[in-house]
Structure 1
Amino acid sequence: MGFQHINFVDIEFDDPQILLHKDVIYINGGNPFTLLYYAKKSGADEIIRTLAAQNVIIVGVSAGTLLLGPNINIVDFFTPQMNTMNLKDFKALGVTDKLVFPHYDREDIFKDSTNKTIEEKIVKFESNENCKVTRLNDEEYISILINQAY
């Protein structure tokens, strides 16, 4: 894609200031609770919000997608056992107001004792939370334009 210089930043250990003055920020997957915890603890949350407001391209993958949304409530609904950080506040960065459910096509990773499908669980979540969830399969993506003048 023609990238000339790439920095790998781990917001748990690295200073997130390194994100400033970058043209593209790529936020990878992992545990959404852990990612949210360290984004807030390190100050990366504010830096990412600032960069988004400056129209820097920000790519979120899996947990990275969830981090950019309004909250990670759906993660707590589906996989509360992942909350090893014991987070109580699930408010995410709010770069977008879209609630996204990645891995929609991966029934194998969301099995539980209820034997409900991902779709059945999302419908219940939408009803409980009075919201709309955007469902994304592993090979799908969405583009969201923020702060664009028309």
Structure 2
Amino acid sequence: MAKIFITSYLAGTQQKLLEFMSKTDNVQDQILFITTAANVESYTKYMADGIKMLQNLGYKLDFLDIAAENELTCYQKIEAAKIICVAGGNTFYLLQAIKQKNLLTLLRHKILKDCLYIGESAGGIILSKNIRYCEAMDDKSLAPDLEDDASLNVIDFFPLPHYIEKPFIEPVKEIFEVYKCQINLVPIDNKQVITILNDDIKIY
């Protein structure tokens, strides 16, 4: 069953990740680390911080850029993974790359049935049914070939990362005001996480 860890800033939630990992039956030390969402970001220190943190914890990272690799390589790496970590960045660009390589169904199956999933910011948002709600925070024009905003549909709520955190204060306020009565938004700041272990959902 699902084992999901959603964070706004991976490096800032190390202790909570350790606690979460201790509650799973995970014995793997290899993580498939998907960097794609950061491709179109000018600031990527958050990803470097997350990579360093995971490596300091003893994990071996196999990096995958879905946009750069061919479809077969992406499929094989995701199919074989026992732990998948998707770094933050532009959610629309990330979803576009996933759809272009026909990975949506495979990823959904892996997350629901077969692997432990860590989603940072965009990596958490794509778990939702639809990512349209994050447009005030992410530039949709960076994904010109994305035909629709339907996403993985793994969770029945909509994570809102970086809640009242610089430099996203105004965008997240706008998203919250526009969508708070339309969808089940779950805001988290950079120190909070959402964890799902089987059917047990916690926000702390």
Off by >2 Å, runs of 4+ in structure 1: 79-84, 107-112, 118-121, 145-148
Is the 1:53–1:147 contact (alpha carbons within 8 Å) kept by the matching residues of 2? no
What is the aligned partner in structure 2 of residue 13 from structure 1? 68
What is the aligned partner in structure 1 of residue 20 from structure 2? none
Structure 1 CA distance for aligned equivalents of residues 155 and 99 of structure 2: 17
Is 1:139 equivalent to 2:198 in the alignment?
Answer: no
**Which of 111, 118, 121 is the aligned partner of 1:59?**
118
Is 1:49 equivalent to 2:103 in the alignment?
Answer: no
What is the aligned partner in structure 2 of residue 115 from structure 1? none
Q: Do the aligned partners of residues 69 and 146 (structure 1) sit closer, same or farther apart at CA in structure 2, a change above 3 Å counting? A: farther
**Which of 35, 40, 44 is the aligned partner of 2:99?**
40
SS at match of 2:180: helix
What is the aligned partner in structure 2 of residue 123 from structure 1? 177
Is the 1:26–1:58 contact (alpha carbons within 8 Å) kept by the matching residues of 2? yes
Q: Which structure is richer in relative contact order (CA contacts within 8 A, separation 6 or more)?
A: 2
With structure 2 as the length reference, what TM-score do the two structures score?
Answer: 0.60
**Counterpart amino acid of residue 131 in structure 1:** I
| Residues 135-144 or 39-48, more deviating | 39-48
Is the 2:176–2:185 contact (alpha carbons within 8 Å) kept by the matching residues of 1? yes
Q: CA deviation at 1:110?
A: 4.7
With structure 1 as the length reference, what TM-score do the two structures score?
Answer: 0.79
**Counterpart amino acid of residue 11 in structure 1:** I
Q: 1:71-92 CA deviation, whole Å, 9 max, x = no partner?
A: 111112x146443223341111
SS at match of 2:142: coil
Q: Which runs of 5+ in 2 are unaligned?
A: 1-56
Structure 1 CA distance for aligned equivalents of residues 62 and 93 of structure 2: 21
Q: 1:37-77 CA deviation, whole Å, 9 max, x = no partner?
A: 0011112222211212324101110111111111111112x
What is the aligned partner in structure 1 of residue 160 from structure 2? 101
What is the aligned partner in structure 1 of residue 141 from structure 2? 83
Q: Do the aligned partners of residues 74 and 7 (structure 1) sit closer, same or farther apart at CA in structure 2, a change above 3 Å counting? A: same
Structure 2 CA distance for aligned equivalents of residues 56 and 29 of structure 1: 19
Q: Calculate the aligned-residue CA RMSD, in Å.
A: 2.3
Q: CA deviation at 1:19?
A: 1.4
Q: Do the aligned partners of residues 120 and 31 (structure 1) sit closer, same or farther apart at CA in structure 2, a change above 3 Å counting? A: closer
**Counterpart amino acid of residue 68 in structure 2:** F
Is 1:24 equivalent to 2:83 in the alignment?
Answer: yes
Structure 2 CA distance for aligned equivalents of residues 33 and 132 of structure 1: 20
Q: Which has the higher strand share?
A: 2
Is the 1:98–1:134 contact (alpha carbons within 8 Å) kept by the matching residues of 2? yes
Number of equivalent positions: 139
Q: Which runs of 5+ in 1 are unaligned?
A: 113-117
